[in-house]
């Protein structure tokens, strides 16, 4: 190597090595701080673009889960209300059968009729209160229960509303039906039996829809987890590998600094070629 006071080739090489070491160390520290191998388009624009798309899908799936949870809660409330209506119908049938007994006196039948009217009116009270988040699937003119099932909201599941109010399509027992006479009691028994059958069918439909919602939510949760794992595989850093790289970069930086210091001291040796001129 030519000894020169104008150019120090060793120092230039040492400077480049130190710059490379500093750059590598900064990159490793960024990976450690962010926990990612790919955190900006400079790292890998293609992978980042794919990851961003998947992150958007994950956000959409979170909305799907929220929609499904709301629908499941609405169906649970509807089922609870429907089961209560079914229980009331069973109690009403017992009262009506007693009142239909031809050997029963009028006074006793009137007592049964008052009890019958009170429990009959509870049906509409239950139906009107079976609401969740503004959705009532068992009221007269009630709302269908629906939820989106994909991350762009283009597909949905719906559970058809079931009218369980008095005098409706399913509970054929009228809102003014009584059991004050033997004939009225017999008519009430017939209406109640039909109502019990209809309500059971309605509850089966709501229950089937609720099961579908539950299965869809379970699938959505699995899909979200798998997608999240996919994003991690694309952009997340292996922290064990990053930790080892950090130690290596720190050693490389220290050695580059030491080498540069030695290179910078070499020009002073040129003075020894001239000796003492005095």
DSSP-assigned letters across all residues of 201-267: HHHHHHHHHHHHHHHHHHHHHHHHHHHHHHHHHHHB--HHHHHHHHHHHHHHHHHHHHHHHHHHHGG
Between helix 182-235 and helix 106-129 the angle, nearest 10°, is 20
Q: How far apart are CA 66 and CA 68, in angstroms?
A: 5
Residues 112 and 92 in one domain: yes
Residue 158 within any structural domain of the chain: yes
CB 170 within 8 A of CB 198: yes
pTM over 0.85: no
Residues 141 and 57 in one domain: yes
Using one digit for the tens of pLDDT, what is the confidence trace for 31-81? Answer: 656 666 676 677 678 888 888 888 888 999 999 999 999 999 999 999 999
Q: How far apart are CA 73 and CA 219, in angstroms?
A: 18
Residues 28 and 113 in one domain: no
Residues 146 and 256 in one domain: no
Residue 134 within any structural domain of the chain: yes
Pick the more confident residue, 94 or 31.
Answer: 94
What value does the CA radius of gyration of the chain take, rounded to a whole number of Å? 40
Residues 70 and 181 in one domain: yes
Q: Taking 70 as the threshold, does the pLDDT of residue 149 lie above it? A: yes
3-class DSSP state of 171: strand
Residues 131 and 22 in one domain: no
Residues 229 and 264 in one domain: no
Residues 152 and 256 in one domain: no
Residue 41 within any structural domain of the chain: no
Residue 42 within any structural domain of the chain: no
The Cβ-side half-sphere exposure at 169, using a 13 Å CA radius, reads 10
Residues 124 and 219 in one domain: yes
Write down the mean pLDDT value for the chain: 85
CB 166 within 8 A of CB 123: yes
**What's the pLDDT at 66?**
95
Residue 44 within any structural domain of the chain: no
Which whole-number Å values give the CA distances from 86 to 28, 63, 79, 91, in the listed order? Answer: 67, 34, 10, 9
Residue 151 within any structural domain of the chain: yes
Residue 40 within any structural domain of the chain: no
* pLDDT-wise least confident of 4-13, 103-112, 179-188, 210-219: 4-13
Residues 254 and 196 in one domain: no
**What's the pLDDT at 97?**
96
Residues 176 and 246 in one domain: no
User: What domain range is 104 assigned to?
Assistant: 49-235
Nearest to 185 by CA among 114, 110, 97: 97
Question: 171 phi and psi, to 5 degrees?
Answer: -95, 95
**Cβ partners under 8 Å of residue 97, min gap 6:** 185, 189
Residues 255 and 140 in one domain: no
| Count of domains forming the chain | 2
**What's the pLDDT at 26?**
63
CATH number at residue 135: 1.20.1330.10
Residue 278 within any structural domain of the chain: no
């Amino acid at each position: 190597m030519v000894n020169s006071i104008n150019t120090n080739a060793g120092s230039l090489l040492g400077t480049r090595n130190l710059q490379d070491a500093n750059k590598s160390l900064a990159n490793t520290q960024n990976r450690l701080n962010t926990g990612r191998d790919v955190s900006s388009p400079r790292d890998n624009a293609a992978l980042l673009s794919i990851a961003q798309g998947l992150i958007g899908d994950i956000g959409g799936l979170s909305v799907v889960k929220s929609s499904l949870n709301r629908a499941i809660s609405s169906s649970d409330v509807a089922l609870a209300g429907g089961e209560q209506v079914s229980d009331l119908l069973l109690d009403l049938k017992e009262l009506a059968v007693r009142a239909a007994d031809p050997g029963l006196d009028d006074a006793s039948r009137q007592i049964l009729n008052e009890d019958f009217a009170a429990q009959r009116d509870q049906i509409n009270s239950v139906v009107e209160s079976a609401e969740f988040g503004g959705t009532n699937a068992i009221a007269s003119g009630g709302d269908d229960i629906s939820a989106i099932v994909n991350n762009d909201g283009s597909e949905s599941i719906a559970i058809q509303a079931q009218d369980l109010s008095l005098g409706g399509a399913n509970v054929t027992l009228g809102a003014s039906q009584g059991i004050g006479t033997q004939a009225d009691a017999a008519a009430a028994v017939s209406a109640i039996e039909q109502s019990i059958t209809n309500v059971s069918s309605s509850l089966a439909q709501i229950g089937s829809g609720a099961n579908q919602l539950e299965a869809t939510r379970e699938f959505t949760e699995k899909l979200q987890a798998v997608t999240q794992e996919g994003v991690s595989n694309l952009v997340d850093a292996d922290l064990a590998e990053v930790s080892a790289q950090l130690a290596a970069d720190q050693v490389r930086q220290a050695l580059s600094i030491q080498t540069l210091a030695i290179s910078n001291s070499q020009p002073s040796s040129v003075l020894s070629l001239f000796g003492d001129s005095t």
